[in-house]
Structure 1
Amino acid sequence: MKKSNSIIKIAYIGLLSLALAVVSCSKDDPATPDNPDPPVVVDPPVVTPAFPGPTYADNYTSISSWGSRSQWNLANVHDPSVEKSGEYYYMYQTDASYGNAHEGNGHFFYRRSKDLINWEFMGSSMTQAPAWVKDSLNNKRARMSPALPPITNPTYGYWAPCVRKVGNKFRMYYSIVVTNPIVGTDTNTSWSERAFIGLAETDDLASNNWTDKGMVVCSEPDGVKSYVRNGENDWDAYFKFNAIDPSFIQTPEGDQYLIYGSWHSGIAALKLNPTTGKPDKLKTIDDYGVRIAGRGNVNSNRWQALEGPEIMYNPDTQYYYLFLAYDELSVAYNTRVARSKSILGPYQTITGSSITNGAECFPMLTHPYQFKNHTGWVGFAHCAVFQNPDTKKWYYASQARLPEGVPGIAVSNAVMMGHVRGIEWTEDGWPVVEAERYAGVPTTTITEANFIGTWEQITMNYQYKTLQKAVTIYLTADKKVSGDVTGTWSYESTKKILTVNGVKCNVTDAWDWESATRKVTISYSGLTATGLPVWGKKVN
């Protein structure tokens, strides 16, 4: 019995060991699982595609010819006016181009874009000067005392149109300047003849079929000065208001005004008949408008260095904003703005002075400037201000030129590139122009961590014909500013406002146009207490 029990016990132990061995093998061998675990799915890494921002060169001289106009995009832009119609923005401009490539191909050239980034050059909107210009000129000359003979073959300049939608029609107010001297052949001994602002209308910008409506206003003498010039330094202008650079506005009450003027005696506001788009009468000098902006002694100075007015009304702030181009156009040009609760002024500066009475206008919004790794831009003014009708976002557009003497570029200052930039608004209702050109960069959530790194900053002082150059600063996690400027910084994420050394700046996602390889970055733009622009962009 004992032997039998032992055999049974040994057999039992052997079977148990075999069973354990089998179970052990089943757990350790993945090739023969009894209850397999579900496979682990690993998602592929998310790769954010690089933003396909603009890559076209700022030096466009290799494609500047008329035969290459389909490649121009924003090359050869000067004194733009922008209006939206259907899915397109349309941009119209002064007759100007590098090397005068446009000559002989019409006037008041235009281009169009769906996105404000890629622009298609369309051609001219006027083939030749309307006959009324010569007729009006010589009728005026015949009525002078003493009467002057007609000019048989006047020469013209075609400048600074303004296009606006008014009701169901689009109006174009355009400038045609007679460049002949009033008498003789020398503009050092005689003032040039008058300028005219005319009107054309169309039902559809896409059709480019314009119906001319004739003269709106012209440069008119007020009897104070002679048309004789005593040399090239005589700036006592013969005409009171210079009839160029029109801008149009319809007030919330339905009144219509043409804002116009360049140098001479300042900027005028001329009330229009809403049906005709013209003044009801031009019988006396008072019928040519009332001055709303000047520079210096407005009562005696006949050569005031301001022009290119652009007028707009912001219903959010309930102010009219008058944008102006200051100084000569090739290098010194810079943009100023003043505001008023009334269309006729007084227009006031950021410190409360009246430019209607001749005060120097601040804020300044643009100025010759230079970020690093780029030539910089000069002649940066004479703007259009317009709004996306769907998003209500405001934009700024003007030309800017390369500086003089850029190595490797013949007549580099004649390279004029169109700049379209977003407009932001300060907490106290002033516009600021974004530090980088518009590129459609998607809006992201910007946090404090995004600011830590290396930046370039420009604080633009007003210096005639002088580039304002970027310095390098570092924003650190302890809210300190170091580098070429020192101080502190803070960020209000709900308002997207970065404060650098007390200057509040609006922050935007941006395109770094100056980088050797253009890329997405963030930028800021603000104003000092006296109205000087502060621009910055992150570089690393």
Structure 2
Amino acid sequence: MLVTVSCSKEEPGTDDAPGPSLPDQGEDGGNPEPPDNSIDFSAITDTYHHVAGADNVYSWGLYNSHDPSIIKEGDTYYSYSTDVSFGSEIRPGIQIRKSRNLVEWSFVGWVFDGLPQRGREFIESKGGDPFDALWAPYAMKVGDEYRLYYSLSSPTPRLSVIGLATSDSPLGPWEEQGLVVTSQADNTRQTNAIDPTVVVTPGNEHWFYYGSAWDGIYYFKLNPSTGLPENPGTKGTRIAQRGFTGGIVNGNIEGPEVIYHEEQDKYYMFIAYDWLQTKYNVRVGRSDSPDGPFLDYNGNNINTEMDNLPMILAPYQFNGHSGWQGVSHPSVFSDDKGQYYMAHQGRPGENSYFMVLHVRKMHWTEDGWPVVSPERYAAVEQEGIAEEDLVGSYEQIILGYQVVPGYAEEQTSPDFQTSINLELNADGSINGDSDNHWSYEAPWLTMEFSNGYTDKLYVEWGRDWENNVDKTILFTGLNNDGTAIWAKKIN
């Protein structure tokens, strides 16, 4: 059995022995990264019994990673994530990892030496006992200052707090600056004060979003110079919620991530739907303004009582693999060349308590919707793909969805979206059917079907992780109903 702590609640376990309180070992954490050109993919496994425990923390790399928030400084990416460990307790403090290639990661320490004082004292002042773990951080850089928003909760329903700490280095030391927003176990209408994110407008307005379950996702403005609320004590206003079936909410909504995309001149809100250990998936809405309304693929306001499209990432299973579930609570970030990525936890189908950091490339469709790669990023060199290269056999995944209202007890199945066979024929037909045809204008593949569906898919090279193939062709995109379509070439 095991103990982990998630961004929403403590998961079941029987190991009550606390892990060692390990010191920060400095920038390299005693485990320097290998050069970028020597990635050992055989060392990246779905499960990690051999290093799972707290005594192996500096060998974790991308393991035991949950709710990441990633920033780039110079040639290095830094990931800040929830306090979790498979099979043992781990000291609290917000875990820090770093990488230069987004594939191999080194564990380098913690933000805090325990629970931050101001957050802990707030929960205790309300008669609560805080969890011995920090959840769902959000990191950003403002000028020369690094800001880290943390979540601290308790077994008392909705007794939670989001606080702010700052540093002049991505590795700290960090100093608490104050509480940003709190929530209590009372009758007020508010969401749970966890899962923060911030977006900065071209005019340097700072907007803060947060929330899990309860009443959805909330937002308010920050003071850009302090990172604290413009109006102290505000709880904000709801900006997103879920649909209901038979009076029961369709599932959790949490973990917002909001970005401004300069080229699209749009604000995008990425949201985690459903239970984090199983059906966890990513939805997205977009807006012309940081205060909304954010609209979905069909033009619906995501603050109405309905579930929204597109769903661009969900539990999936390619042939011969146990699959990946719990694939949400995304961090969306870019490099210095305008390439966007999405990072999130992935839990293997064979054991949903393992948590592995996934990073995927992102692309924008011609009408401005984000899509993510069907495979994890592997630093595969990109070169031209000709039309004749596309002819062949593929495994295709259509990201469908089945509503299962409720939370952990109801959403026990990950609802894996499984692969089906796809054949692109040299004569332009699909699966040997001349009524269905494909065409290609790099980098976009168009597949038109006689049943009225049209898939518009971005084509690139990537790694086939399931079959240990270093380089193959990948597709990702949406059809004309806003359903995400993935594929990888296998022959």
Normalising by structure 1, what TM-score?
0.77
Q: 1:53·1:511 contact (CA, 8 Å) conserved in 2?
A: no
Deviation for aligned residue 1:254: 1.1
Unaligned runs of 5+ in 2: 1-36, 405-413, 449-453
d(CA) in 1 for partners of 2:98, 2:122: 33
Determine which of 177, 183, 191 is the counterpart of 1:219: 183
Say whether residues 1:416 and 2:380 are aligned partners: no
Secondary structure (helix, strand or coil) at the match of 2:101 reads coil
Determine which of 65, 70, 95 is the counterpart of 1:77: 65
Partner of 2:347: 401
Q: 2:311·2:483 contact (CA, 8 Å) conserved in 1?
A: yes
1:3-152 residue pairs with structure 2 within 5 A? 54-55=41-42, 56-100=44-88, 103-104=90-91, 106-139=92-125, 141=126, 150-151=127-128
Aligned amino acid, residue 308 of structure 1: G
d(CA) in 2 for partners of 1:359, 1:386: 28
Between the two proteins, the alignment pairs up a number of residues equal to 438
Say whether residues 1:314 and 2:270 are aligned partners: no
Deviation for aligned residue 1:304: 6.2
Determine which of 202, 215, 228 is the counterpart of 1:265: 215
Report percent identity of matched pairs. 38
Partner of 1:455: 394
Q: 1:53·1:519 contact (CA, 8 Å) conserved in 2?
A: no
d(CA) in 2 for partners of 1:483, 1:122: 53
d(CA) in 1 for partners of 2:343, 2:364: 16
d(CA) in 2 for partners of 1:308, 1:119: 23
Aligned amino acid, residue 201 of structure 1: T
Unaligned runs of 5+ in 1: 1-49, 142-149, 182-191, 225-238, 407-411
Secondary structure (helix, strand or coil) at the match of 1:348 reads coil
1:385-396 residue pairs with structure 2 within 5 A? 385-388=332-335, 390-396=336-342
Say whether residues 1:445 and 2:384 are aligned partners: yes
Deviation for aligned residue 1:220: 4.4
d(CA) in 2 for partners of 1:210, 1:116: 24
Partner of 1:475: 424
Distance 1:134 1:57, change over 3 A: closer
Q: 1:309·1:322 contact (CA, 8 Å) conserved in 2?
A: yes
Secondary structure (helix, strand or coil) at the match of 1:396 reads strand
Partner of 2:174: 210
Deviation for aligned residue 1:380: 0.8
Distance 1:71 1:132, change over 3 A: closer
d(CA) in 1 for partners of 2:46, 2:131: 32
Q: 1:263·1:303 contact (CA, 8 Å) conserved in 2?
A: no
Q: Which has the higher helix share?
A: 1
Aligned amino acid, residue 54 of structure 1: F
Q: Which has the larger radius of gyration?
A: 1
- Deviations for 1:123-148, whole angstroms, at most 9, x for unmatched residues? 22111122223432354x3xxxxxxx
Q: 1:497·1:506 contact (CA, 8 Å) conserved in 2?
A: yes
Partner of 2:482: 531
- Deviations for 1:469-517, whole angstroms, at most 9, x for unmatched residues? 1111221110111179982211102xx10112320100111001010x4
Normalising by structure 2, what TM-score?
0.84
Partner of 2:303: 356
Task: Tell me the C-alpha RMSD between the 2 structures.
Answer: 2.3
Distance 1:484 1:223, change over 3 A: farther
Determine which of 127, 152, 161 is the counterpart of 1:196: 161
Secondary structure (helix, strand or coil) at the match of 2:50 reads helix
Deviation for aligned residue 1:336: 0.4
Distance 1:51 1:70, change over 3 A: closer
Deviation for aligned residue 1:339: 0.3
Distance 1:156 1:473, change over 3 A: same
Aligned amino acid, residue 293 of structure 2: P
Secondary structure (helix, strand or coil) at the match of 1:132 reads helix
Say whether residues 1:159 and 2:159 are aligned partners: no
- Deviations for 1:43-67, whole angstroms, at most 9, x for unmatched residues? xxxxxxx996723222222222233
Distance 1:303 1:174, change over 3 A: farther
- Deviations for 1:391-415, whole angstroms, at most 9, x for unmatched residues? 1100000001112xx3xxxxx1101
d(CA) in 2 for partners of 1:258, 1:386: 17
Aligned amino acid, residue 395 of structure 1: Y
d(CA) in 1 for partners of 2:122, 2:115: 12
1:230-249 residue pairs with structure 2 within 5 A? 240-249=190-199
Deviation for aligned residue 1:385: 0.1
Say whether residues 1:333 and 2:280 are aligned partners: yes
- Deviations for 1:151-181, whole angstroms, at most 9, x for unmatched residues? 5x544441100000112101000001122x3
d(CA) in 2 for partners of 1:462, 1:64: 32
Say whether residues 1:371 and 2:310 are aligned partners: no
Aligned amino acid, residue 78 of structure 2: Y
d(CA) in 1 for partners of 2:124, 2:258: 32
- Deviations for 1:324-346, whole angstroms, at most 9, x for unmatched residues? 00011111101000000011111
- Deviations for 1:261-280, whole angstroms, at most 9, x for unmatched residues? 00111101121111221114
Partner of 1:43: none
